[in-house]
Amino acid sequence: MKERFCFQPTALDGVVVVERRPIVDERGWFERLFCARELESLTGGKPIVQINRSLTHRRGAARGLHYQRPPHAEIKIVTCLRGEIFDVAVDLRAGSPTFLQWHGERLSAGDGRMLGIPEGCAHGFQALSDDAELFYLNTAEYAPASEAGLHPEDPRLAIAWPLAITALSPRDRVHALIGASFEGLQLEMNRTGNTIADDEP
């Protein structure tokens, strides 16, 4: 059986660009957005438990950078259904050789590309077009008590956003800058396979 996904690693361990391989004929095309078996190397076999969708109306607006602390850390697979975005993952994993480094990818409707973001990474994006629509696959449910975020313009991260950020949500606007004592998220596994302990930025 032909594999429907192609994987391209990035400089951040576990952050992967996934290219979908559609079936094309004179009628159009058919593509697979998710397959548990083919994407197991990305999800670690964890089930997708939540599927989300967002629409960002204005070019230049940003969302994020969001993450969930253990034990609700999540893997995300993100694709763009309409318009174009600059999608960013930031490594927050304690002890990682790329700790506090970021990786960004342009994703656009019809390019057949997704960004896979592992546990322990923050995620955010900037709309590069009006009415940018995203589709997210998540391995953990939204857990408000475990929710956290980084400021997208934190100078310690120095993310090279393609455009000046023109809009943030009230929540994202007040995310604290990363303190000197921030050591990252501890993602050690307990006997049940759940992530444990965490630290604040």
Collect all residues with Cβ–Cβ distance below 8 Å to 24 and sequence separation of at least 6.
Answer: none
CA–CA separation, 73 and 88 (whole Å): 17
**33: DSSP letter:** S
Tell me if residue 142 is catalytic.
Answer: no
3-class DSSP assignment, residue 183: coil
CA quadruple 157, 48, 39, 95: dihedral sign: positive
Tell me if residue 136 is catalytic.
Answer: yes
CA quadruple 141, 142, 143, 147: dihedral sign: positive
> Of these residues, 67, 72, 136, 175, which one is catalytic?
136
Pairing between strand 121-127 and 132-138? unpaired
> Of these residues, 66, 72, 103, 151, which one is catalytic?
66
CA–CA separation, 181 and 201 (whole Å): 8
Neighbours of 30 (CB within 10 A): 10
Neighbours of 18 (CB within 10 A): 20
Point out the residues that are catalytic: 66, 136
